[in-house]
Amino acid sequence: MIKRVNHIAIAVPDLELAAETYRRLGVTVSEPQVLPEHGVRVVFLEFENVKLELIETYGEKSPVASFMRKNPSGGIHHVCFDVEDLQSTSETLKDAGIRVLGDGPPKIGAHGNPVLFAHPADLFGVLTEFEEPR
């Protein structure tokens, strides 16, 4: 079901400051993207072996806002795995008693691919995203 780690997301209080900090450390940083349906602004840090996603609260209904209230300096927010078939993954998660977040169909993520999230309480305290790459 899980093919590889796609990215690890870090919530930050100031996306521009965080992106510039990593640029000064020699890291390739993508252009910012606004994802209103997810309530975040994001950039990706590109490394040879993994991507890090920096996320900042966007909009009043951002699910990241409550995380930032508890962690004002930021911190690891979620991990994302690539899967071959998101529908099959959703069924497997539900069969295993793992709650899928949201109101139905997957949403489109920052890479333009469908994604879904599993409840952190069901995966050892880790908010987990599953992405079906094209």
pTM value is: 0.92
> Which position among 56, 129, 131, 132 bears the catalytic label?
129
CATH code given to domain 2-131: 3.10.180.10
Mean per-residue pLDDT of the chain: 95
- Higher pLDDT: 61 or 82? It is 82
If we measure between CA atoms, which residue out of 42, 43, 40, 44 comes closest to residue 65? 40
Say whether 129 is catalytic. Answer: yes
**pLDDT band at residue 1 using 50, 70 and 90 as cut-offs:** confident
Identify the pLDDT of residue 103: 80
Contact call for residues 21 and 13 (beta carbons, < 8 A) = no
